[in-house]
Chain A
Amino acid sequence: MNLKTTVLGQTYQFRDLKEVFAKANEEKSGDQLAGIAAADSRERVAAKQVLADLTLADIRNHPLVPAEEDEVSRVIEAGINEKIYQEVKNWSVAELREYILSHRAGDSELKRISRGLSSEMIAASAKLMSNLDLVTAAAKIRNISHCNIAIGQAGVLAARVQPNHPADNVQGIKAAIYEGLSYGSGDAVIGINPVIDTADSVKDILLMTKEVMNKWDIPTQNCVLAHVTTQMRAIRQGAPADLIFQSLAGSEEGNRAFGIDVALLDEADELIRKEGTATGPNYWYFETGQGSELSAEAHFGVDQLTMESRCYGLARKYKPFIVNTVVGFIGPEYLYDSRQVIRAGLEDHYMGKMHGLPMGCDVCYTNHMKVDQNDMDNLGVLLSAAGVNFVIGVAMADDVMLNYQSTSFHDIAAFREVLGLRPAPAFEKWLEKMGIMENGKLTAIAGDPTIFM
């Protein structure tokens, strides 16, 4: 394994794969905070150059996080199809990148090769891609999933309605749901982040969302994004949940900080299959985001892009209905400004798609980052062009509970209109029935939440 290269007359010798991986990343404040980032552009290119020539076998044979020490590594290892891996193991990362971007590789070719790739290999390919590479590659892959309805088809952009309320007031949540539905959002999920972490409160919200869905015959799915154990309690108490949610980290230690492990996810998986209310076969909703492992000091000195990719390796075990990176939520110490957030959003989306996941993105930022709503407009359009399965809809992008900004119901309508995208087919039919949409366009009554009262 060659870890040495010369760039513009300067020779770089990297210590190990971990260092190459970290330094090959585009600039991120999180890698800098961890003290593993490239010192300058030249070192960054050197690392990319070294990485380009490494083979996929090199990556597999030198695990960044040893399987003996980490169950996420074990899940990723166990997921690799050996036959497919054998076909590609002698490819360099450069060859992998070129294959993925080539016209030879379409949707089904990429899906097949994906089964022979580890999360680290996929991460490596992302490191060699420009933003437009990431868009181009991801746009080829359609990962369709089905809970109560199917989303992810070509030409479809779905949206989660995120109707959060600072005190979990059920009426207030309902009000924001009505608003979102009236703009044509809500086909991915009606998903609430609760403030109150009790089974009672989760159950109340699940009941209310189900009631709204039943009353208006809405083809979608509900979810309350409490900790998985709280959702499990609520479901055992009879709460109607279509989806079960959890945030994931890319290491066992990181997941422990979230209060979960693989055994718990397996248990929740069994429960939602038995006692969930949806059609299936996909019942999970996962969220991820670069930086969470470092934040929990559970990153093994590995860069945040690679750790993020490992989240997807874990996620694919559970065949989720939806997965999204909450790309700009974690704060400036991990992603400092709009450049970094936009880059991370495109990376995460690409890596998720390459894992075969129905990948969405919470295009978002907090108020202490050097980002504003214009940057979100940009990333939203880029991701929509890249075929993102879904984005997040919040009233005027302002989440009054989580205190950050995402994309708005207006934004989703605009992404669709500008790029000729549609809601999920079943949902669009319903929007037409309700008179909210006609031929893919919002009608005159769209935007009036009182049509649901």
Chain B
Amino acid sequence: MEQQLDMLVDKVVAELQKKLTEMARQTGHPKEQKHDEAAAHETAGEEQPVVAEEPVRMAQVPHPKWQEGLVELLDSTPARIGVWRTGVRPLTKTMLQLRRDHAAAVDAVYGEVSQPLLDEFSLFTVETQYDNTENYLKRPDMGRILNDEGVRLLQERCQKRPQVQIVVSDGLSASAVDANLRDVLPSLMDSLKSYGLTCGTSFFVKGGRVASMDHIGELLQPEVLVLLIGERPGLVTAHSMSAYMCYRPRKGMVESERTVISNIHRQGTSPIEAGAHIGTILSKMLEQKASGVKLVL
């Protein structure tokens, strides 16, 4: 019985695949034409969201002892290996690639989160006492406290004592927010819905540090708070985001009382999966009335 079924499956599948290849072949030509149309559209002002194209990594070793092996090595790590050399120095292309990635990382630190994105999620902005980027970098303590205007805005506009408080902040990478918020935040909202959790008034903190959670916790007194914040950019990606979560945040919280999911970006922890899992963590925090090392996951 089962064997017959298998044969049937194989047959149908083979047919299906044949059909698919045919389909792909047929649709080949019209697609090319459509390309031109799309180009016309774009010039007409229809802007596509720019996706940072990662250049394909290629091994540069001219005569490797084992070519297939070299490919296998490169596939196994994002590290910049197989880059070859001129004398004892890197090739020009490799060197420029490194400088380009460093430029992206620096830009992420000094960049700003896109306002339309914040508007899309109805996030209003408050600022910490950071003042300017240089000061933000030198004085992490000032990024932990909201300025007076920020305190006033929260008191005016936010629901007090919410079950879940969501806060978004640029942190050390504005582009991390730009790149991931559209995926993480709605997936997190869905997850809250699935668990039947309610959420207060979300907002954006400019110039925020992780411990700004404590000050916000004092002001709004949520049961649990999640801070989605840009991480210190690396060269592999400048767009990595972390989610810091805390049960009843307040002044004087220590690192070990926070639960963290880090490395959220396209090539790292899947943004949608992170969003969904943050909901699970928050619901466990509410259940266990704890966070950080005391939380059993």
Contacts and interface: CB of A to CB of B under 8 A. Distances in A.
Asked if chains A and B are in direct contact (CB within 8 A), the reply is: yes
Contacts of A332: 137-138
Interface in B59-113: 61, 63-67, 69-70, 72-74, 76-85, 87-90, 94, 98-99, 101-102, 105-106, 108-109
B292 interface: no
Interface magnitude class on chain A: 35 or more
A417 interface: yes
B73 A178 contact: yes
A449 B139 CA distance: 44
Contacts of A449: 61, 64, 70, 73, 81-82
Interface stretch (B16-24, B189-197, B212-220, B228-236): B228-236
Contact of A368 (B101, B172, B263): B172
B102 A372 contact: yes
Interface string B135-150: 0011111000000000
A174 B70 CA distance: 12
Given A176-B77, A450-B61, A453-B69, A403 B233 contact: yes
A451 B234 CA distance: 30
Contact of B109 (A169, A367, A414): A367
B80 A373 contact: no
B186 interface: no
Contacts of A1: none
Contact of A450 (B73, B79, B90, B172): B73
Contacts of A394: 79
Contact of B85 (A169, A366, A399, A447): A447
Contacts of B108: 367
Interface in A383-410: 394-400, 403-405, 408, 410
Given A367-B105, A400-B79, A448 B61 contact: yes
Given A333-B137, A450-B61, A453-B66, A396 B263 contact: no
B112 to A, nearest CB: 15
Contact of B65 (A398, A410, A445): A445
Interface in A344-368: 366-368
Interface in A407-453: 408, 410, 413-414, 417, 442, 445-451, 453
Interface magnitude class on chain B: 35 or more
Given A169-B77, A368-B109, A397-B98, A451 B138 contact: no
22 contacts: A165-B79, A171-B72, A171-B76, A172-B76, A178-B81, A179-B79, A183-B85, A367-B102, A367-B106, A373-B99, A373-B102, A395-B81, A395-B83, A396-B80, A396-B83, A410-B88, A410-B90, A417-B88, A448-B64, A450-B61, A451-B65, A453-B73
Interface of B: 61, 63-67, 69-70, 72-74, 76-85, 87-90, 94, 98-99, 101-102, 105-106, 108-109, 137-141, 172, 231-236, 238, 240, 263, 268
Given A367-B233, A395-B81, A396-B79, 7 more contacts: A33-B140, A175-B76, A336-B138, A368-B109, A398-B101, A446-B85, A450-B66
